[in-house]
Amino acid sequence: MFLKKAVLALQALLAASVLAGAAIAGPVVNSGHIESELVAQEAGIAPGGTVYVALRQKIIPGWHTYWRNPGDAGEATRIAWTLPAGWSAGDMVWPTPKKAKLGPLLDYAYEGEVLIPVPITAPADAQVGTTISLNAAVSYLVCEQVCVPEDVKLTLLLPVVGGAPAADPKWGAVVGRVLADAPKPAGLKAVFKFDGQALKLAVTGGPLKGADLAGAYFFPYSPKVIEHAADQAIERGPEGVTLTLKPGYDFVGGGTAPAELAGVLSTKGGAWEVTATAGEPPATAAGLGAPPAEAAPPAGMTGGLVGALLFAFVGGLILNLMPCVFPVLSMKAASLAGHAHDAGKTRLQGLVFLLGVVATFLALAGLLLAVRAGGAAVGWGFQLQSPLVVAGLALLMLLVALNMSGVFEIGTSVQNVGSGASAKGGATGAFFTGALAVVVAAPCTAPFMAGALGYALTQPTLVSLAVFLALALGFAAPFVAVAFIPGLLKLLPRPGAWMDVLKKGLAFPMYGAALWLVWVFAQQSGPLSLAHLLAAGVLAAFGAWLYGLAQARRAVGEPALVSLLIALAALGLAVTVAIFGALAAHPPTDAVTASAETPSGPGLTAEAWSPERVKALQAEGRPILVDFTAAWCVTCQVNEKVALSGAKVAEAFKARNAVYMKADWTNRDPVIAKALAEFGRVGVPLYVVYPKNGGAPVILPQLLTEGLVIEAIEKAGA
């Protein structure tokens, strides 16, 4: 009796639905994680017509299902239709998914409620007045921390009507909005380019012109073309957007590079289907396609080699004024003072100093060119990116300072230091001074010099070496000029005891240089390696003292062999300990973990630089100052203390919502080297300001002031 009543009720309901022209959904299936059902946009379907029937799923909080490309993990939802003869189902219309981060993985998913419409087409001979049963077997994966595969069977009863069907009263508008918001073609032009490391996707035209492209993201249809979890850097422009993607298996893992790159470009203003072909991204796709302001070679460089030689010579002159060279100025001053009134020896010193400068510059340049030719991303000052070199220079500076303090002497006795210094030719010392000056000065670049070096490293070897030779001549020119101008030397007092006092006083800048190099070593190495270097310094000082003691004993006719042998053993042990510590060096853990945010003054905090982060901040419309720096660059450290640590600078950054970023090149970093090369630079310091409106970046001078920084940030944030 009950079954008979149920059948009669169902027949009555079907009759009513036919008369009313309404679709009848089957029961909602609740799997425990998802409620699933079929709903229609329209209340019926005409013969030969098409209606959108959507799979509606209501997902419990914290769980999700997957898009057509699930991303790094997961499985796309599938629908298998069972339809009457002559009826057909089209492709699923996938709404734009959300990014679901699960540890190191990134998935493309749906949360909450999702409707996936599918077009259902009736045959032209469908009989009006009948009700058709549409049956779907749905398979999906629903995940939280664990994933559960589920299958449900759904049904929808759809009447065949004679005229144009009305919208379904409950679901018509809902399905219509889903279809309106779903990604669709919009006449966009898209090209992609793979350069061996990055995958550039440029999309221009149509609705992208003048649109808000902040947060733009590309969802690929294929799971193998990009690394989903990698950031997508955004470059906005008046015609569209360029995204920098990390290539996936098809490009770098042994797969077959596709001829097309298809997917969905999602922005705040909407989402569109794009199909990109291989090609050169247009410069108008992004504002950063234009060359950065001042990134091109200086105006004088347009003269080619002649301009580069001129700028290199002037840059070498100015390099003498950079803080990097200050420690070695004391050696120059002591050397000149010792021979101020002996024109012949002074000129010889000047020429030998020039020879030391030129030989060292060309040696470093040749090594730099050879390393770069081997594929390594290195730049000017690369030698101080090696802890071994830094440790060696620290010990050398210490020994030079001890020598100037009179602990031991080279080439003379400890007696009559003043007269001895004035009497000796000093050619070896002059050559050594020139070489050491170059090694210490090389980490920094000066105005004009930066552009010249950038030009040199793009030219054939002989042209490059010619530019470095001009740089060396400019660097040595002031010392050589003083050595050959008698009028300047005559201003100094006659040789006497004052020279010994001056020499010992000038030793303290060398002690300071040694301490600075130890600090640089500490930035590159762990505490254990630093302890090795400090121990090596003590042994070196002990050996120097013993060597000086042996010199004193020998001067009065006493045996000094034992003291000399112990001194040499101590110096050898110092070198061994330093080498062992340098080879075991690694960046301190706390420095690595703290590098994301580094205090740089009252209220001003530096954020760790990366190209992806710069693009993300640009997408937010924030002005940025990027400080390309290194612990071994004295000019960089001076600029930080003088121009980037004041309260006024911090206030200016806060007022303009600006971001201060550091690209720390203390240790070798090919990404930073590449970024420097993009601005025509091969060394630090480099200061780049990105305006908030996405315009071309501006390069600041290499010597900063608070006022200059504040003015640049205010202009970039206007």
Q: For 499-512, how does the pLDDT look when each residue is reduced to its tens digit (9 = 90+)?
A: 667 677 777 877 87
> Which of 84-93, 220-229, 292-301 has the weakest average pLDDT?
292-301
What is the reported pLDDT for 265?
94
What is the reported pLDDT for 160?
94
What 3-state class would DSSP assign to 408? coil
What is the reported pLDDT for 301?
42
Strand blocks (E) in 104-145 = 105-110, 113-121, 131-143
What is the reported pLDDT for 106?
87
pLDDT of residue 45 exceeding 80, the answer is yes
pLDDT of residue 325 exceeding 70, the answer is no
Residue of 632 and 230 predicted with greater confidence: 230
Quick: pLDDT tens for 399-419: 878 887 888 776 443 333 333
Q: HSE of 180 in the Cβ direction (CA atoms, 13 Å)?
A: 8
pLDDT band at residue 563 under the 50/70/90 scheme:
low
Around Cβ 333, how many Cβ atoms within 10 Å? 15
> Which of 182-191, 431-440, 483-492 has the weakest average pLDDT?
483-492
Percent of the chain with pLDDT over 90: 26
Gyration radius (Cα) of the chain, Å: 37
What 3-state class would DSSP assign to 507? helix
- The dihedral sign for the CA sequence 328, 331, 334, 338: negative
Query: Do the beta carbons of residue 579 and residue 391 sit within 8 Å?
Result: yes
pLDDT band at residue 338 under the 50/70/90 scheme:
low
pLDDT of residue 657 exceeding 80, the answer is yes
What is the reported pLDDT for 81?
96
pLDDT of residue 584 exceeding 80, the answer is no
What is the reported pLDDT for 564?
65
Quick: pLDDT tens for 252-304: 866 677 889 999 999 888 899 999 998 887 755 544 343 343 333 443 344 45
Task: Quote the CA–CA distance of 531 and 509 in Å, as a whole number.
Answer: 23
Residue of 284 and 319 predicted with greater confidence: 319
What is the reported pLDDT for 303?
47
When pLDDT is averaged across residues 107-134 and rounded to a whole number, the result is 94
pLDDT of residue 38 exceeding 90, the answer is yes
What is the reported pLDDT for 453?
65
Nearest to 199 by CA among 267, 254, 272, 248: 248
Quick: pLDDT tens for 516-544: 778 777 777 767 777 777 888 888 888 88
Task: Supply φ then ψ for residue 649, to 5 degrees.
Answer: -65, -45
Strand blocks (E) in 210-269 = 217-220, 233-236, 240-245, 260-267
> Which of 55-64, 508-517, 537-546, 550-559 has the weakest average pLDDT?
550-559
Q: Hey, do 13-181 and 189-289 end up sharing a CATH topology, with the first three levels equal?
A: yes
> Which of 98-112, 269-283, 343-357 has the weakest average pLDDT?
343-357
Nearest to 680 by CA among 449, 365, 522, 419: 449
Percent of the chain with pLDDT over 70: 73
Under CATH, which number does the domain 13-181 receive?
A: 2.60.40.1250
Give the chain's count of helices (H) and strands (E).
22, 25
Task: Quote the CA–CA distance of 113 and 125 in Å, as a whole number.
Answer: 36
Amino acid identity at 9: A
> Which of 161-175, 343-357, 370-384, 429-443 has the weakest average pLDDT?
370-384
Nearest to 188 by CA among 215, 211, 165: 211
Assigned token pair, 701: 């001078």
pTM for the model stands at 0.43
When pLDDT is averaged across residues 549-567 and rounded to a whole number, the result is 70
CA angle 616, 622, 627 (to 5 degrees): 80
What is the reported pLDDT for 666?
79
Across 116-120, 348-352, 549-553, the highest mean pLDDT is recorded for: 116-120
> Which of 265-274, 561-570, 668-677, 699-708 has the weakest average pLDDT?
561-570
What is the reported pLDDT for 377?
47
Q: HSE of 140 in the Cβ direction (CA atoms, 13 Å)?
A: 29
From the candidate CATH numbers 3.30.56.10, 3.40.50.10210, 3.40.50.620, 3.40.30.10, the one assigned to the domain spanning 590-716:
3.40.30.10
Query: Do the beta carbons of residue 158 and residue 14 sit within 8 Å?
Result: no
What is the reported pLDDT for 326?
62
What is the reported pLDDT for 215?
81
Quick: pLDDT tens for 602-623: 557 889 898 888 888 888 889 9
> Which of 95-109, 539-553, 646-660 has the weakest average pLDDT?
539-553
The domain ranges of the chain are: 13-181, 189-289, 299-509, 590-716
Pair type for strands 270-278 and 189-194: parallel
Nearest to 700 by CA among 718, 686, 714: 686
> Which of 218-222, 234-238, 267-271 has the weakest average pLDDT?
234-238
Fold of 189-289: Immunoglobulin-like (2.60.40)
Residue of 207 and 161 predicted with greater confidence: 161
Average pLDDT score over the chain = 77
Longest dimension (CA), the chain: 133
What is the reported pLDDT for 635?
75
Nearest to 328 by CA among 337, 339, 320: 320
What is the reported pLDDT for 36?
95
> Which of 121-130, 163-172, 245-254, 646-655 has the weakest average pLDDT?
245-254
pLDDT of residue 9 exceeding 50, the answer is no
What is the reported pLDDT for 494?
60
Assigned token pair, 534: 């400090």
